[in-house]
Amino acid sequence: MREKADSDLVRRQNRRLVLDALRQHGPLARIELGRHTGLSPGSITSIAAQLIADGILQEVAEPHVPVVPMRRGRPLTQLDINPKSAHVVAVKISIDGIELALADTRGTILHRHTSRIATYEAEPSLFAQSVASEIRTLLSKARMPLRRIARIGVAVQGVADQQAGTIVWSPAFRHRNIQVSAALQRELGIPCSIANDANMIAQALISTDPDRYGETAAVVFIGYGVGMGLILNGQVYHGPTGAAAEFGHMNHLPGGPLCRCGRRGCVEAYAADYSILRWASGHADRQPPSFTAIPAGEMQALEAAARRGEKPAMDAFAKAGEALGYGLARMMALLSPSRIALAGPGTGAIELIEPHLRQAIGDGIVEELRRNVEIEVVPIHTDMIIQGTIDGALRHLDREVFAHGPMAKRQPVLEAIA
């Protein structure tokens, strides 16, 4: 019995290796899969045959190969993930808004849907029903049956408890400990998971460029809030409950301006959009934080004022850079990352922020501890949160469903991992 269990474990691990390689590199010939996974040709042949029979993989013609009429042997083919083997839905929740995307098993987005929801006053017991309704709308527009959806991934600003499936705290909500995962599964009958939105940006970076983000790195989101996704040894570090790396709510200056979290002096109270606006107004110490979304036009106008040399606006962006820089200096001293990526709409003003950020890093940590850290900007038009949420949902399917067998035979597994 133990031998069978060990054999099943090896089989699942090998199937995951093959799926991971295809997700990372795209379609591959069998010999290339062997090089990427370290598996023998015989193992690759056996695993590929199983995954094709299960409907998880498919054979595709190798591109740009000229046809040779008298060529002997099998035509050149590559293995690829079958996009129709399952579908996932990604949900991004932010202040007063929700964005949804339907994706196939390759991660290609097939349909999108956005909606305005008054999140701050949302009734906790009814919020999941509202999200379920938006998911049904998305699927109706896409003409996709609910039964074809294998998993739902939710990303939210704030603290998300992955184990409990709840929004512990978010500036998008007045209430705390809002049940999401279990409630959505009751509504739709589909397994669901929840994570912090900055962690999903980190997941997207690993997926799109594993060589660049395959060691220790961090991504800092700047915009409607300030968040961090932390990458350790090529994996997103969520912590025991999913609340790790709450960079934005790390204290910058005790007794500073009030943050949306209810504490004073957080990094976010200096560097989020609502905070920069408060500093520019001259009332940061007295003005409470806004709990509604800041219109993009307001920030663009403030950026324009700073570029014209208006001192209050320039000083506000300088304070944002300083808070971010000192926070990053502390993180560098603790973790020695090789790379830090700045992302989010706040990077639209990066030239106003970055000089002060780098100055604060220089003041906050010795040169020997920062000299090898690269700081870069992720293009603001890149929707990394949605892409990371899709990738996280698909990798969960690879690990908990596809590694075992075809979707049609894995209903007990789906129920167990909900």
Mean per-residue pLDDT, 78-85:
94
Mean per-residue pLDDT, 170-194:
95
Cβ atoms 147, 123 nearer than 8 A: no
> In the chain, pLDDT over 90 holds for what percent of residues?
76
Other CB atoms within 10 Å distance of the CB of residue 275 = 30
| 192-196/149-156 β-pairing | parallel
Q: How far apart are CA 57 and CA 382, in angstroms?
A: 28
* R_g (Cα) of the chain, nearest Å: 23
Q: How far apart are CA 277 and CA 306, in angstroms?
A: 12
Judge whether residue 151 has pLDDT over 90. Answer: yes
Q: What is the pLDDT of residue 17?
A: 93
Question: Which run of H or of E encompasses 220?
Answer: strand 217-222
Q: pLDDT for 328-362, tens place per residue?
A: 999 999 999 999 999 999 999 999 999 999 999 99
Cβ atoms 354, 222 nearer than 8 A: no
Judge whether residue 80 has pLDDT over 60. Answer: yes
Cβ atoms 179, 166 nearer than 8 A: yes
Of 175, 93, 173, nearest in space to 131 by CA? 93
Q: How confident is the model at residue 365 (pLDDT cuts 50, 70, 90)?
A: very high
Q: What is the pLDDT of residue 15?
A: 93
Question: For residue 32, what are its two tokens?
Answer: 């290339």
Judge whether residue 3 has pLDDT over 70. Answer: no
| 87-94/149-156 β-pairing | parallel
Q: pLDDT for 204-235, tens place per residue?
A: 999 888 888 988 999 999 999 999 999 999 89
Of 172, 181, 221, nearest in space to 201 by CA? 221
Q: What is the pLDDT of residue 404?
A: 85
Q: What is the pLDDT of residue 63?
A: 65
Q: In sequence order, what are the residues at sequence separation of 6 or more whose Cβ sits closer than 8 angstroms to the Cβ of residue 347?
A: 222, 377, 378, 380
Mean per-residue pLDDT, 310-339:
97
Q: In the chain, what is the straight-line distance between the N-terminal and C-terminal CA atoms, in Å?
A: 28
Mean per-residue pLDDT, 378-399:
91
Judge whether residue 68 has pLDDT over 70. Answer: no
Q: pLDDT for 244-297, tens place per residue?
A: 889 999 999 999 999 999 999 999 999 999 999 999 999 888 899 988 889 999
Judge whether residue 65 has pLDDT over 60. Answer: no
Cβ atoms 79, 44 nearer than 8 A: no
Q: Structural domains in the chain?
A: 2-81 (1.10.10.10), 87-200+384-416 (3.30.420.40), 210-377 (3.30.420.40)
Q: pLDDT for 94-134, tens place per residue?
A: 888 899 999 999 999 999 999 998 898 899 999 999 999 99
Q: How far apart are CA 271 and CA 289, in angstroms?
A: 12
Mean per-residue pLDDT, 291-304:
93
Q: pLDDT for 395-414, tens place per residue?
A: 999 998 998 876 544 443 33
Which sign does the torsion angle of CA 328, 333, 334, 336 carry? positive
Of 136, 160, 51, nearest in space to 402 by CA? 51
Q: How far apart are CA 180 and CA 197, in angstroms?
A: 15
Mean per-residue pLDDT, 37-56:
93
Three-class SS state of 110: strand
> In the chain, pLDDT over 70 holds for what percent of residues?
92
Task: Give the residues across from 338 on adjacent strands.
Answer: none
Strand order in the sheet with 166-169: 159-161, 166-169, 178-179
Q: What is the pLDDT of residue 72?
A: 54
Output the average pLDDT for the chain.
90
Judge whether residue 1 has pLDDT over 70. Answer: no
Q: What is the pLDDT of residue 381?
A: 76
Q: What is the pLDDT of residue 411?
A: 45
Q: What is the pLDDT of residue 139?
A: 98
Q: What region does 31 belong to: left with phi over 0, alpha with psi -120 to 50, or beta?
A: alpha
